[in-house]
Amino acid sequence: MLPGQKSGDKLTLHYLANLTVAAELKDCYQQLEDGIADIDVLKAAGSKLDAIVSHVLIEGRMLGDYATGTAVFRTAYPATSIITIPAGTKTYAILEDGTKLYFITTEASSIAIGASQASVASRAVIRGTSGNIGPYTLLNTVARITGIVSVENPLAFSGGTVDEADDELRERYFDAVQAPGKATITMLERALNDISTVAEVKVWNYGSGDMGVLVDHSEGVAAVSAEIVSCLKTNIAAGAVARGEIGATVDAGEVVILEDDVYGGMVWVRPRNFVKLGDFFTFTYRDMANQVLTGTITIPPATHRGAMVRAVLNDDDDSRAKKILAVSSSSGGNSYDILLGMGEPQYLYNLPELITVNINAQIYLTETPEADLVENIKASLTAFLGAFKNAESLQYSDILRFFQNYYDATADENVGRTLVGIDEIVQLTALGGGQSAYRIGDRITVEEDWRIEAGTMNITVLEG
């Protein structure tokens, strides 16, 4: 110790030694905490989290999409010979901050003799939003192509999305470990909701391996959605079946017609027993135009229990059934389920039945109503009814609320500005689903596979 120093001074060897040891211990503890975090699914991030979930989510983190667009390759003068632009040709853009982004063509193309440009589909080299560049950002090719003097993108590149976030990956992981094998109902609903043409999904477990899948699909029932069927195949566990809706049952000579109907779908037959010699019977059904038509069912010999066989509807591949009305007895004394749904065998889905609600009203106006008041009331009610989800009932009090206040999806409880100029509501009635609502406390109730939609708005302004 130097003269005049105390044992606690910061220049003593004892203090300096303690400081060194403390720093090493702090670093050691930090490494321990980091190591523990890297093996904890709740705390790990990035590649560490990818490694933890890989034993459950074999496909790993969902990667973002590439930005796509069109690159226009130009020459200084009309080409005197064909200029080939191979697939994979690399181009670049330089952003305002000096960042260089690279893009590649996704198809081969060429500039014909006498032409001076060619438009070629392209995408960003790296996934993510960075490739969503504005118009006229591309500059040229990375490697020189004889005759090409510039590359431009008259339109913006778009569609680039980020990779799945850590929190989203954790959520998928926890969903996946809830049950062995394939997805739970929660995961199946989430996977179907990720399809761009699907607005809403509901999945039911009927027991005995049967599931019901209701998909609000914007493309309707004109054709089977390959994307939905692929999703069902990927996310339904072995032994489970998406059966559609049971429209009727055949138990040897006894036929039971169920009350359930659907938006519209194909008809399928599922034997409840092994059909050794084959079978044939007919049925009548109501189609989407409310016509009563006839369908036929031919069961091949040696059809196993649980297999699904598609019926022929009115000799028309485009016909879709809403409800089974009658079924002839099985000629072979077998038992069957008659199913309604779109899809493929074992992977059927249904669309919600649309319940049109019509509004009839009579009103008196004040002396100074707002401009286009009646049209604004109609727009408010149409937006309100158009926002309904599957299985949501309609209350009369809500009709009254959005008759007097503009429906605003971004406002608190969706109540926007007051509609100015209604002096008295003489009559206000909602009709839909065979029901009516005309006073406080009334409601239009719906089944689990129904969805309300806006119909006609008849608003009469009374004089006097």
Residue 392 region by backbone torsions, left for phi larger than 0, else alpha for psi between -120 and 50, else beta: beta
pLDDT at 257 over 50: yes
CB 42 within 8 A of CB 170: yes
Does residue 266 register a pLDDT over 50? yes
What are all long-range contacts of 368-377, with beta carbons under 8 Å and residues at least 24 apart?
Answer: 368/421, 369/420, 369/421, 369/422, 370/419, 370/420, 370/421, 373/419, 373/420, 373/421, 373/422, 374/459, 374/461, 376/406, 376/419, 377/403, 377/419, 377/422, 377/457, 377/459
Q: pTM of the full predicted structure?
A: 0.61
Q: How far apart are CA 127 and CA 161, in angstroms?
A: 7
Do 113 and 231 share a domain, yes or no? no
Q: Are residues 211 and 307 in the same domain?
A: yes
Mean pLDDT of 240-256: 89
Are 195 and 181 in contact, with CB atoms under 8 Å apart?
Answer: no
> How many residues does this entry show for the chain?
464
| 133 token code pair | 């560049």
Q: Is residue 159 part of a domain?
A: no
Kindly tell me if the per-residue pLDDT of 4 is higher than 70. no
Residue 279 lies in a domain: yes
What integer is the mean pLDDT of 34-47?
80
Q: Does 158 fall in a domain? A: no
Q: What is the distance between the alpha carbons of residues 88 and 122, in angstroms, rounded to a whole number?
A: 9
- Kindly tell me if the per-residue pLDDT of 10 is higher than 70: no
Q: Quote the pLDDT of residue 1.
A: 45
Confidence of residue 341 (pLDDT cuts 50, 70, 90): very high
Q: Across residues 235-262, what is the average pLDDT?
A: 87
One-letter amino acid at 412 equals D
Host H or E run for residue 26: helix 13-38
* Pair (105, 170) in one structural domain: no
Do 299 and 386 reside in the same domain of the chain?
Answer: no
Confidence of residue 457 (pLDDT cuts 50, 70, 90): very high
Asked if residue 282 and residue 183 are part of one domain, the reply reads: yes
191 and 253 in a single domain? The answer is yes
Q: Is 420 exposed, middle or buried (0-12, 13-18, 19+ CB in 10 A)?
A: middle
Q: Which of 311, 334, 351 is the last residue of a domain?
A: 351
More confident call, 171 vs 331: 171
Six token digits for residue 353: 């039945």
The reply to whether 305 and 321 lie within a common domain is: yes
Q: Does residue 185 carry a pLDDT above 50?
A: yes
Residue 48: its pLDDT value, please?
A: 87
Instruction: Give the residue, 42 or 299, on which the prediction is more confident.
Output: 299
Q: Which has the higher per-residue pLDDT, 448 or 444?
A: 444
Same domain, 319 and 246: yes
Distance CA 29, CA 290 (A): 74
Do 89 and 183 fall into the same domain? no
pLDDT of res. 359: 95
Reported as a single tens digit per residue, the pLDDT across 199-221 is 999 998 888 889 999 999 999 99
pLDDT over 80 at 17, yes or no: no
Sign of torsion over alpha carbons 3, 4, 7, 12: negative
Q: What CA–CA distances, in Å, run from 54 to 60, 401, 412?
A: 6, 51, 42
Model confidence over 285-339: pLDDT tens digits?
A: 999 999 999 999 999 999 999 999 999 998 788 899 999 999 987 767 889 999 9
Model confidence over 415-424: pLDDT tens digits?
999 999 999 9
Residue 452 lies in a domain: yes
What is the rounded distance in angstroms from the CA atom of residue 388 to the CA atom of residue 395? 12
Is 322 found in the same domain as 249? yes
Average pLDDT over residues 427-453: 92
Task: Give the number of domains in the chain.
Answer: 5
Whole-angstrom distance, CA of residue 104 vs CA of residue 143: 12
Q: Which of 301, 324, 351 is the last residue of a domain?
A: 351
Structure confidence at residue 9 (pLDDT): 63
Residues 214 and 336 occupy one common structural domain: yes
Strand 422-432 relative to strand 90-94: parallel, antiparallel, unpaired?
A: unpaired
pLDDT at residue 8, rounded to an integer: 56
Mean per-residue pLDDT, 60-73:
91
66, with CB counted inside 10 A (0-12, 13-18, 19+), is: buried
Q: Evaluate whether residue 119 is within a structural domain.
A: yes
- The answer to whether 345 and 304 are in contact (CB under 8 A) is no
- Please check whether residues 345 and 384 belong to one and the same domain: no
> At 184, which amino acid appears?
T
Which helix H or strand E contains 362, and what residues bound it? strand 353-365
> Residue 253 pLDDT more than 90?
no
Neighbours of 73 (CB within 10 A): 27
- Would 157 be classed as within a structural domain? no
Domain that holds residue 360: 353-461
Give the whole-angstrom CA distance, residue 110 versus residue 89: 12
Quick check: is 331 in a domain?
A: yes
Average pLDDT of the segment spanning 267-278: 92
Q: Is the pLDDT of residue 278 over 50?
A: yes
Pairing of strands 138-141, 90-94: antiparallel
Q: What are phi and psi of 397, to 5 degrees?
A: -60, -30
> Rounded CA gap, 249 and 154, in Å?
61
- Closest C-alpha among 197, 263, 207 to residue 230: 197
Asked if residue 450 has pLDDT above 50, the reply is: yes
Higher pLDDT, 173 or 123: 123
Is residue 295, in this structure, part of any structural domain at all? yes
Q: Which residues contact 439 (CB under 8 A, 6 or more apart)?
A: 396
